[in-house]
Amino acid sequence: MKSRESRKLDHIKYAIRLDDGPYATGFSDVHLFHNCLPETDRSKVSLEVELPGVGVLPHPIVINAITGGAASVKSINRSLAETAAQAHCVMAVGSQFGAVRKGQHADTFQVVREVYPDGIFFANLSAFATVDDVRRAAEMIGARAIQIHLNAAQELAMEEGDRDFSSCLKNIETICAHAELPVIVKETGCGMAREQAKQLRDCGVAILDIGGAGGTNFPAIEHCRYAAGNAELGTWGIPTALSLLEVVPVMGWQHGIIASGGIRTALDVVKAQVLGASAAAMAGNILRVVLKHGSEEAAGRILRCLENIKDFYVLLGCQNAAQLRRARYWLTGAMAEAVRSLEHVPDNTIK
């Protein structure tokens, strides 16, 4: 088996080689009604959003957890933090488990605070973390929230992965009871269903990052590392848009929900917000640009995406995120069929 450090390097290597999917996110089946009389001044459009316990963010795009924990990726985290600073993004770091448990490579995380002193950062640990782990991870980067990642499918695909997940919910409840920061629970590419969203909400989780299927595929990445593993795990998961429709009734419309999993365009972000996400997170696509073109180009692409989001706000007749609640949409294809089969139709869906 490979070391934790070599595993992190493998994740980067295959994340930039593999395409998104194979599941689609579902956003191509979500269609927004055009407002031909928008009565909106684009110069007055505000992209500000709010996350419980975190506060007001300047816009809805988050740079999600990607990497860390290996000496050679310090420069990547530096570039990601530079991107976040230039584009005024919240940023989540990769798993800090090795840094808090073994004292390894803390500097690969701390560099983000050095680069972006005023930034909002999310610490990141697994559901097996202790309360002390959480405290140390947060202190390491001056975090505003702690992100607990769920990655059962990825672990099952790994030769060296965990196999016992029986204590995860109880452990998350303990973390929520003792953490001094808001707790975010993030799936890593398989999505969340309403039943688990309720369990997490009820044990004190403030924010859910749904991490739906359709973006970076970690079971597929692990299959590249361990070919003898279960290849079909790469086809498992809930598409991101459908996961949103599952979770929003539990948490509340634009109340503590981050959409992630194949969010790639301005229209993806707006559709996610209309469905009920407070913010939208990107990871793999930003990593690719940073590695190929550098932080300035990556930040430029995010800033252009934000300008495009303003265009869609105008075309929906909205000047801020809260007004997106009055935007109407309809569903086609697999999304429409899924909603019909689940008998789960939100109020502003066209049946």
Q: Mean of the pLDDT values across residues 167-186?
A: 97
Q: Mean of the pLDDT values across residues 271-286?
A: 97
Six token digits for residue 173: 């409840």
3-class secondary structure, 110: helix
Is the pLDDT at 190 greater than 70? The verdict is yes
Q: Is the backbone peptide bond immediately before 219 cis, with ω within 30 degrees of 0?
A: no
Burial class (CB in 10 A: 0-12, 13-18, 19+), 130: middle
Highest mean pLDDT among 8-22, 221-235, 280-294: 280-294
Is the pLDDT at 67 greater than 90? The verdict is no
Going by pLDDT thresholds of 50, 70 and 90, the confidence category of residue 120 is very high
Q: Sign of dihedral through CA atoms 47, 50, 56, 62?
A: negative
Q: Mean of the pLDDT values across residues 191-215?
A: 97
Is the pLDDT at 216 greater than 50? The verdict is yes
| Alpha carbon distances (Å) from 182 to 84, 176, 212, 279 | 21, 8, 22, 16
Q: Mean of the pLDDT values across residues 142-154?
A: 95
Q: pLDDT per residue over 282-320, tens digit each?
A: 999 999 999 999 999 999 999 999 999 999 999 999 999
Which position has the token pair 């309720």? 198
Six token digits for residue 107: 């500097």
Is the pLDDT at 265 greater than 50? The verdict is yes
pLDDT at 350: 40
Six token digits for residue 50: 């709010």
pLDDT at 19: 79
Average pLDDT, the chain: 92
Is the pLDDT at 49 greater than 60? The verdict is yes
Q: For strand 329-331 and strand 349-350, is the pairing parallel, antiparallel, or unpaired?
A: parallel
Q: pTM of the predicted model, to two decimals?
A: 0.93
Between CA 248 and CA 253 the distance in angstroms is: 6
Q: Mean of the pLDDT values across residues 95-111?
A: 90
β-pair partners for 187 = 150
Residues 6+ apart with CB under 8 A from 157: 218, 219, 222, 223, 226, 229, 230, 233, 234
Is the pLDDT at 1 greater than 60? The verdict is no
The better pLDDT of the pair 318, 154 is held by 318
pLDDT at 351: 36
Going by pLDDT thresholds of 50, 70 and 90, the confidence category of residue 3 is low
Between CA 239 and CA 21 the distance in angstroms is: 9
Q: Mean of the pLDDT values across residues 162-171?
A: 92
Residues 6+ apart with CB under 8 A from 93: 65, 68, 77, 109, 112, 121, 122, 123, 124, 141
pLDDT at 105: 87
Among 88, 188, 97, 90, smallest CA distance to 144 is for 90
Between CA 286 and CA 269 the distance in angstroms is: 15
3-class secondary structure, 4: helix
pLDDT at 5: 63
Helix-helix angle 295-315:74-87, to 10 degrees: 40
